[in-house]
């Protein structure tokens, strides 16, 4: 079997029987994985998909408290402490204005409610809702994720947007998930339907973890110190990554989806995850990387790769 070293691009040769094994390049001394034969690779992918599907359809054995990122709990507590004096000031304002402040608060809440209705109307009229007859492959993923988590099924829509993204929202007490075509196309171009489970599971995770319900959103009033709110948002994203990992039932599948988000479809299966994590450790303590982190609402991609590998060990998810 002829192949190229991914480090120095020199031509190498190895027996067909060594497919999938690691060898040392005689030129640059780098570690290189011998590519598997097409038939073997296809069989391995089918076996992986079947195993992941079986794990995803198995009854859930982990609780939300186990799936929730420990850092989210700390950030939530800090944000709650910051929110308490804000609510106290609002209470004093209401009393001092003899209830007049309630009118202003009510108008603000009404405006927010109407804005949600308008946003939901746009989604309902410009995106396609997933159902047993409409995009059934994605609907099957939604069903498997919700069964795995034991949670209610949100309304899931697919919308044309050429960016790698998706979002969860709650409008007028209706839970929604919107998947952008850019993310779906990128995953399905070189990946498989199992990798799409990670994307869907992540967004459903926001609803499962209660991130969009008032029972947890009330602490956002502590965002008068924005760094704490951003810290909380980042940890919520890591919680949803853990939930998505649990839904896929495979670390490999989850990492491939995360690599797709990081470098795109064409190169995602060629990323050396360990080297990418080492790159994160090399730079994470630099001043501007730290500065960029504390002002970010989402964790950096290389950090997410590391957190996925750590979560797999904690949750008992196989590689």
Dump pLDDT digits (tens) for 195-216: 999 999 999 999 999 999 999 9
> Which residue bears the tokens 């998505």?
244
Residue 6: per-residue pLDDT? 64
Q: Is the pTM of this model over 0.85?
A: no
Cβ 197 vs Cβ 56: under 8 Å: yes
From the list 249, 247, 269, the residue with the least C-alpha distance to 258 is: 269
Buried b / exposed e over 215-237, threshold 16 CB at 10 Å, is ebeebebbbeeeebbbbbbbbbb
- Domain enclosing residue 303, as ranges: 66-315
pLDDT of 283 higher than 90: yes
More confident residue, 24 or 178: 178
Q: Domain for residue 51, yes or no?
A: no
% of the chain surpassing 90 pLDDT: 77
Residue 39: per-residue pLDDT? 45
Cβ 7 vs Cβ 32: under 8 Å: yes
Q: Domain for residue 14, yes or no?
A: no
Q: Domain for residue 85, yes or no?
A: yes
Query: What does the pLDDT look like over 159-174, one tens digit per residue?
Result: 999 999 999 999 988 9
Give how many domains the chain has, as a whole number: 1
- For residue 206, what are the contacts with CB-CB under 8 A and spacing of at least 6? 168, 212, 236, 240
Q: Domain for residue 61, yes or no?
A: no
SS3 115: helix
Cβ 67 vs Cβ 239: under 8 Å: yes
| Distance, C-alpha 256 to centroid of its chain | 12
Q: Domain for residue 21, yes or no?
A: no
Beta strands in 78-143 (DSSP E): 128-129
Confidence of residue 38 (pLDDT cuts 50, 70, 90): very low
Mean predicted confidence (pLDDT) in 308-313: 96
Distance CA 161, CA 30 (A): 40
More confident residue, 74 or 46: 74
% of the chain surpassing 70 pLDDT: 87
pLDDT of 149 higher than 70: yes
Query: What does the pLDDT look like over 137-148, one tens digit per residue?
Result: 999 999 999 999
Q: Domain for residue 37, yes or no?
A: no
* Element at 100 (helix H, strand E): helix 100-126
Residue 7: per-residue pLDDT? 61
Q: Domain for residue 229, yes or no?
A: yes
Q: Domain for residue 298, yes or no?
A: yes
Residue 27: per-residue pLDDT? 76
């Amino acid at each position: 079997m002829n192949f190229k070293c991914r480090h120095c691009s020199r031509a190498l040769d190895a027996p067909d029987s060594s497919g999938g094994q690691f060898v040392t390049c005689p030129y640059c001394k780098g570690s290189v994985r011998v590519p598997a034969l097409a038939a073997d690779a296809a069989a391995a992918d089918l076996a992986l998909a079947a195993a992941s599907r079986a794990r995803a359809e198995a009854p859930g054995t982990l609780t939300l408290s186990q799936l929730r990122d420990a850092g989210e709990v700390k950030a939530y507590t800090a944000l709650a402490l910051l929110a308490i004096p804000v609510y106290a000031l609002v209470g004093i304002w209401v009393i001092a204005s003899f209830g007049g402040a309630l009118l202003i608060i009510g108008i603000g809440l009404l405006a927010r409610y109407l804005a949600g209705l308008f946003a939901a109307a746009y989604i309902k009229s410009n995106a396609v809702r997933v159902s047993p007859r409409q995009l059934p492959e994605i609907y099957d993923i939604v069903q498997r994720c919700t069964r795995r988590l034991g949670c209610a099924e949100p309304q899931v829509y697919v919308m044309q947007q050429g960016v790698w993204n998706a979002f969860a929202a709650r409008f007028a007490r209706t839970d929604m998930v919107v998947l952008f075509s850019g993310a779906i196309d990128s995953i399905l171009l070189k990946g498989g339907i199992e990798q799409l489970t990670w994307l869907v599971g992540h967004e459903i995770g926001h609803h499962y973890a209660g991130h969009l319900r008032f029972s947890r959103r009330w602490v956002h009033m502590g965002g008068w110190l924005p760094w704490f709110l951003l810290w909380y948002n980042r940890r919520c994203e890591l919680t949803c990554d853990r939930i998505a990992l649990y839904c896929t039932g495979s670390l490999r599948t989850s990492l491939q989806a995360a690599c797709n988000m990081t470098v795109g479809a064409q190169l995602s299966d060629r990323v050396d995850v360990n080297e990418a994590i080492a790159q994160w450790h090399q730079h994470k303590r630099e001043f501007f990387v730290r500065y960029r982190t504390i002002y970010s609402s989402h964790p950096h991609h290389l950090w997410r790769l590391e957190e996925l590998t750590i979560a797999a060990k904690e949750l008992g998810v196989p590689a």
